[in-house]
């Protein structure tokens, strides 16, 4: 009996999934750094363009290294199909555009990544698509926002930057009742700790730039879901608008997937320990970590996530205190990236959420005292010492 990769454990799928060796039998995945492909004859080119013969024609449509990345991530996610994109935002844009047309309406959580909010508020209206933003943990708000023309629900959980969590299964149920599709941005939870497709989502999007690379090198993104839906909604859009991932980036991200399970679990263990120490510090007004029992949506987190993740946020009460904290750090970097091997601290109000208005920031509870921490792979003792020294300094 041949092994079915879908039956493998997650760690095995992440290391071996999608591997398609060339006749040379290389151990590492081959990097097909090529734009296009040649044909044995005009007849062969004719057949390949007609779709009568399998094979690649142009790397904007597909590429063998990118395909290995897509197949590996699809296996990890338990999705039928994955399409890779040049960045996480290309994935979100593609995911929404392929499901929407003029006259359609989207309901989205308020607390979503800044650029996603920009697409909904500033870009979609140009094409006659309206969005209503709701307080995502409030199920009644999703129901109340539904209109006859609602076609898509968009959500992020845990959400940036304050780790707000919403009940994905319950929101998917509301969407099913009205025939809308659900797109979930699963960047913060990662494929290791949360599987939106099993909770009822139709499409999952990732910024592979974050944990999937995890070592600060390349941008990438992905859209995952059922093959029929992805083919119908995205195949031609990908071919003709060109959000394709570079084969080089796909190769880097394939190697990232091999260590994803190990890295994310280790980072999450350290994040949980640091969250407890930070929450206990007298200067800290509030500390949010999905794995802590005092998280506002701890019960939902326990139901739909298998780990707390690598991110936490805490409130120091004022922008001055937050800046003193950041200024006193010696080991952690001040940076707005996340999911990296290097731990990073950021002040969301002046960086990632700068483009969001003050009023919108207050709606999601983001006051000037909040600091977001992405926990990396350094020794826990060094991170704890650095953070506690910086907290003492504010
Ligand atoms: C980073 C991020 C994105 C965008 O990804 P890029 O790769 O930077 O384009 C989208 N959603 C979330 C939650 C993110 O953290």
CA of 311 to the centre of ligand 1 (A): 14
CA 305, CA 289: separation in Å to the nearest integer? 12
The answer on pLDDT for 23 being more than 90 is yes
248 and 340 together in one domain: no
The answer on pLDDT for 46 being more than 90 is yes
Least confident residue range of 253-262, 276-285, 353-362, 375-384: 353-362
Please indicate whether residue 346, judged by its CB atom, sits closer than 6 Å to ligand 1. no
Arithmetic mean of pLDDT, 284-308: 97
368 and 264 together in one domain: yes
> Which residue is it, tokens 């597909």?
62
82 and 225 together in one domain: yes
228 and 243 together in one domain: yes
* End residue of a domain, out of 231, 255, 279: 255
381 and 285 together in one domain: yes
The whole-chain average pLDDT of the chain stands at: 97
> Which residue is it, tokens 């350094």?
378
Atom 8 (ligand 1) nearest CA: 88
Query: Residue 334's pLDDT is what?
Result: 98
Please indicate whether residue 156, judged by its CB atom, sits closer than 6 Å to ligand 1. yes
Atom 7 (ligand 1) nearest CA: 88
The answer on pLDDT for 354 being more than 90 is no
59 and 104 together in one domain: yes
Query: Residue 139's pLDDT is what?
Result: 98
CA of 87 to the centre of ligand 1 (A): 8
Least confident residue range of 45-54, 272-281, 299-308: 45-54
Please indicate whether residue 372, judged by its CB atom, sits closer than 6 Å to ligand 1. no
64 and 192 together in one domain: yes
pLDDT tens, position by position, 51-99: 899 999 999 999 999 999 999 999 999 999 999 999 999 999 999 999 9
Atom 2 (ligand 1) nearest CA: 207
CATH number of the domain residue 286 falls in: 3.90.1150.10
Q: For residue 163, what pLDDT band results from cuts at 50, 70 and 90? A: very high
Q: How many domains does the chain fold into?
A: 2
CA of 114 to the centre of ligand 1 (A): 9
Please indicate whether residue 209, judged by its CB atom, sits closer than 6 Å to ligand 1. yes
Please indicate whether residue 311, judged by its CB atom, sits closer than 6 Å to ligand 1. no
Arithmetic mean of pLDDT, 319-323: 98
Please indicate whether residue 245, judged by its CB atom, sits closer than 6 Å to ligand 1. no
CATH number of the domain residue 137 falls in: 3.40.640.10
Distances (CA, A) of 290 to 154, 165, 193, 266, 372: 20, 8, 11, 16, 13
Atom 11 (ligand 1) nearest CA: 113
Arithmetic mean of pLDDT, 319-341: 98
Please indicate whether residue 213, judged by its CB atom, sits closer than 6 Å to ligand 1. no
Please indicate whether residue 207, judged by its CB atom, sits closer than 6 Å to ligand 1. yes
Q: For residue 355, what pLDDT band results from cuts at 50, 70 and 90? A: confident
* End residue of a domain, out of 233, 255, 277: 255
The answer on pLDDT for 1 being more than 80 is no
157 and 137 together in one domain: yes
Arithmetic mean of pLDDT, 157-172: 97
CA 269, CA 51: separation in Å to the nearest integer? 48
Range of the domain at 153: 5-255
Query: Residue 114's pLDDT is what?
Result: 87
CA of 330 to the centre of ligand 1 (A): 26
The percentage of residues in the chain with a pLDDT greater than 90, rounded to a whole number, is 96
Query: Residue 298's pLDDT is what?
Result: 97
Please indicate whether residue 113, judged by its CB atom, sits closer than 6 Å to ligand 1. yes
237 and 270 together in one domain: no
68 and 55 together in one domain: yes
Query: Residue 356's pLDDT is what?
Result: 82
pTM for this predicted structure: 0.97
290 and 179 together in one domain: no
Picking from 74, 106, 80, the residue whose alpha carbon sits closest to that of residue 93 is 106
Query: Residue 38's pLDDT is what?
Result: 96
CA of 88 to the centre of ligand 1 (A): 5
């Amino acid at each position: 009996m041949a092994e079915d990769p879908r039956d493998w454990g997650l760690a095995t799928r992440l290391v071996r999934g999608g591997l398609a060796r060339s006749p040379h039998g290389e151990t590492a995945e081959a990097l097909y750094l090529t734009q296009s492909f040649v044909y044995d004859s005009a007849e062969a080119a004719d057949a390949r363009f007609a779709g009568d013969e399998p094979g690649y024609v142009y790397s904007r449509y597909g590429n063998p290294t990118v395909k290995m990345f897509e197949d590996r991530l699809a296996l990890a996610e338990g999705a039928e199909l994955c399409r890779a994109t040049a960045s996480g935002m290309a994935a979100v844009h593609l995911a929404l555009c392929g499901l929407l047309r003029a006259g359609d309406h989207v309901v989205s959580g308020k607390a979503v990544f800044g650029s996603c909010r920009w697409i909904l508020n500033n870009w979609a209206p140009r094409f006659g698509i309206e969005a209503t933003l709701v307080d995502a943990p409030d199920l009644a708000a999703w129901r109340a926002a539904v209109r006859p023309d609602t076609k898509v629900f968009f959500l992020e959980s845990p959400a940036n930057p304050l780790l707000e969590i919403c009940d994905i299964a319950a929101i998917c149920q509301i969407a099913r009742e009205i025939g809308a599709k659900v797109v979930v941005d699963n960047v913060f939870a990662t494929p290791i700790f949360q599987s939106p497709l099993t909770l009822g989502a139709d499409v999952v999007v990732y910024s592979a730039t974050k944990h999937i690379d995890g070592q600060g090198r390349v941008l990438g993104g992905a859209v995952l879901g059922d093959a029929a839906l992805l083919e119908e909604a995205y195949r031609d859009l990908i071919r003709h608008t060109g959000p394709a991932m570079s084969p080089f980036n796909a190769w880097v991200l394939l190697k990232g997937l091999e260590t994803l399970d190990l890295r994310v679990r280790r980072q999450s263990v350290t994040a949980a320990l640091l969250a407890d120490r930070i929450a206990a510090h007298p200067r800290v007004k509030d500390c949010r970590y999905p794995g802590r029992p005092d998280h506002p949506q701890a019960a939902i987190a326990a139901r739909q996530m298998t780990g707390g993740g690598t991110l936490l946020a805490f409130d120091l009460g004022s922008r001055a205190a937050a800046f003193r904290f950041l200024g006193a750090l010696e080991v952690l970097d001040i940076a707005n990236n996340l999911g990296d091997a290097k731990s990073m601290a950021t002040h969301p109000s002046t960086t990632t959420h700068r483009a969001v208005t003050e009023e919108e920031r207050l709606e999601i509870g983001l006051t000037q005292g909040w600091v977001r921490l992405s926990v990396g792979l350094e020794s826990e003792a060094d991170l704890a010492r650095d953070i506690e020294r910086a907290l003492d300094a504010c």
